[in-house]
Amino acid sequence: MRKKKALFLDRDGVIVSECQVDSFEKIVYLPHMFSTLAKIRKQTDFEFVLVSNQDGVGTPAFPYEDYIKCQERIMSTLEGEDIFFDDVNIDFSTEEEGLDTRKPNIGMLKAKYIDSNEYDMPSSFFIGDRITDMMCARNLGCKGILLSEDEIRIPDDLESTVCLKASSWLDILSFFFPDSFMVHRTSSAARKTAETDISITVDLDGSGKGEVKSGIPFFDHMMAQFIKYSRFDISSAVSGDIEIDCHHTVEDYAITLGTAIKNALSDKRGIERYGYEILVMDDARATVALDFSSRPYLDFSIPFTSSQIGDFPTEMIKHFLYTLSVSLASSLSVRVEGENNHHMAEACFKALGRAMRYAVRRKEGYALVPSTKGCL
């Protein structure tokens, strides 16, 4: 008889981001988790097994009622995405109790998955975000996939167990489906002139990590908004002749950023292409629309009432956006209404991030270039 295979999954840090989920507000799902698990469920023969430590459920610090309402919400949401679990194993003990049912021990799993001899454990996998999950994988005799954005050192005795260190669910998707086009879209670009020296690395499928240290505080603040709301991961090194003014640095940053994003998009296969956002920030309302059309154009209207915000010239916002649209080869429309100059500028960059986040989105199974021409 052919043996079955299991895909063991931790919950917290793998399916949801919070470590103790005791309210609906804490249910935040990891990016690309739904699409990856749905594809694995549909196109492989793995049985899905949830294995989770939920410390101290049933105590005053973590009432059972708080736990179960969130657990049921998570499971019903997964089922709504065609992700069904064949087995659910939750341990409520604390580490101090030392029970054999608590990961990395396998007391909850041993009888069904090892003693029964019905499962092909060397061909099974455990996806977790901690070393204890990888220890559990070793104890089960299966392979471990460590999912974490952090740099975690794999102990020597687990090197043969851990088959993949994944920074996101897209890495896991690529592991199980090597031919999938849903991989991390990353690119680097650099520009060095007599006036500036700038290098930028972009991950379009990130989580909004990064910061810009250009020596121009207000510009750095605006870029922090863009990074946060686009959910791009952006790392950069910036040096420019800001002792003269900020023009060269802001302009060349836009050139380099646009080049990196454009290169990461490659042939734009499978993306939405169009992005649109209306965003309100107090008195300011920003409307941003963009099209990765390969035809640069800027339509701009922000009625600033001052030539500067702090030490930053407001005219440089238009120039940054124009330069970005050219280096991105995109059509960009930016219109902001409001009274406070800072609010109008910040609403602009937030809306730009959200519009771009939408425009670069992809859907699993759709890999066409979004144009009747067949190319962009």
What's the full length of the chain, in residues?
376
Cβ neighbours of residue 143 closer than 8 Å, sequence gap 6 or more: 122, 124, 125, 126, 137, 161, 162, 163
Instruction: State how far the Cα of 188 lies from the Cα of 40, in Å rounded to an integer.
Output: 31
State both tokens at 102: 């608590």
State both tokens at 372: 């009747």
How do strand 87-91 and strand 46-53 relate by DSSP bridges? parallel
The per-residue DSSP string of 254-275 comes to: HHHHHHHHHHHHTT-TTB--EE
Instruction: List own/partner pairs for 183-188 with CB under 8 A and 24 or more apart.
Output: 185/264, 185/265, 185/266, 185/360, 186/264, 187/260, 187/261, 187/263, 187/264, 188/260
Q: Which of 12, 205, 233, 252 is catalytic?
A: 12
Q: Is 12 a catalytic residue?
A: yes
Question: Which residue type occupies 23?
Answer: S
Q: Which of 10, 129, 203, 233 is catalytic?
A: 10
Instruction: State how far the Cα of 39 lies from the Cα of 182, in Å rounded to an integer.
Output: 12
The dihedrals phi and psi of 337, each to the nearest 5 degrees, come to: -115, 150
Instruction: State how far the Cα of 163 lies from the Cα of 142, in Å rounded to an integer.
Output: 10
Q: What does R_g of the chain's alpha carbons equal in angstroms?
A: 24
Q: Is 157 a catalytic residue?
A: no
Q: What is the DSSP letter of 158?
A: G
Q: What is the dihedral of CA 51, 53, 59, 65, to 10 degrees?
A: -40
Contact 54, 102 (CB under 8 A): no
Q: What is the dihedral of CA 374, 189, 185, 257, to 10 degrees?
A: -80
Q: Is the N-terminal amide bond of 217 cis, ω within 30° of 0? A: no
Q: Which residue in 355, 327, 203 sits closest to 258, CA to CA?
A: 327
Active site residues: 10, 12
